[in-house]
Amino acid sequence: MGEPVGWAVVAQNLAEHAANRIHTDEGAREAGFPSALVAGVTTYAYLTHPLVAAWGIDWVARGGASMRFRAPVFAGRTIECIPSSNPDDTWTVRAVDATEEQNPRASIEAWRDSGSAAPLRDGEPLADRQFVLDGEFGPDYGSRAGDDLTIYDGSDLIHPAVWPALANRVFSTDLVRGSWIHTRSIVRHHGVARRGDTVDVAATVVDRFERHGERAVVDLRISLRGRPIASLEHEAIIALPD
């Protein structure tokens, strides 16, 4: 396998993200930002590009990453995705906007083997849901956002950003009130899915707390035909401060 190398893209929002007004210019300005914030899941999609370009389907099937959003990524800005190796065999990929003083805007720490899925922790269960992996949850998530990798569309392989996108759908359906902001996630891969597959999503709220707004932390397990293919810890500000 090769080593990840840097890559750059002009950040953009997808049409479905307009439902969260923070991803529109008007809604972002109402919240005190200069322009639309790019969805965290899309930023994550960009940050996975160097990993998948180097490691291919092996990382999509078994790898994983923790992501943290430190400052907004604004639509229309060029974002450099800069990878670097760590002594423990993980890799860090940083999203850098050269027009901003504060960098990185976001980062992930990635590994190549997530192991088996752990059980959901105790907490407040949310309703189980099913999703068909197509359309906004299909293989072309990355290409619609400007990612030029061909591995997904060419094989109907579901993009790894779809897993936190499904977590976001659970948040938007069951938890959020008004504009909200995805702040961090840990995503572990345990298998792959293809276009048209139907997955089951189980979710439990494991923490709620106040920090720059009301936050929730949710454990999620995504299963295909009874077998876990992804597990996540997902955190977001579900109600912005007044």
Predicted structure pTM score: 0.93
Residue 130 resides in a domain: yes
Residue 34 resides in a domain: yes
pLDDT of amino acid 181: 86
User: Beta partners for 215?
Assistant: 209, 237
Residue 167 resides in a domain: yes
Average pLDDT along the chain, 242 residues, taken 10 residues at a time: 92 88 89 90 97 97 96 95 97 98 97 96 98 96 93 93 97 89 95 98 97 95 98 94 78
Total domains in the chain come to 1
Residue 25 resides in a domain: yes
CATH number of the CATH domain containing 21: 3.10.129.10
**Which residue segment(s) compose the domain that 76 sits in?**
7-239
pLDDT of amino acid 166: 98
Residue 30 resides in a domain: yes
pLDDT of amino acid 167: 97
Residue 1 resides in a domain: no
Q: Please give, one letter per residue, the 3-state secondary structure of 149-193.
A: CCCCCCCCECCCCHHHHHHHHHHHHHCCCCCCEEEEEEEEECCCC
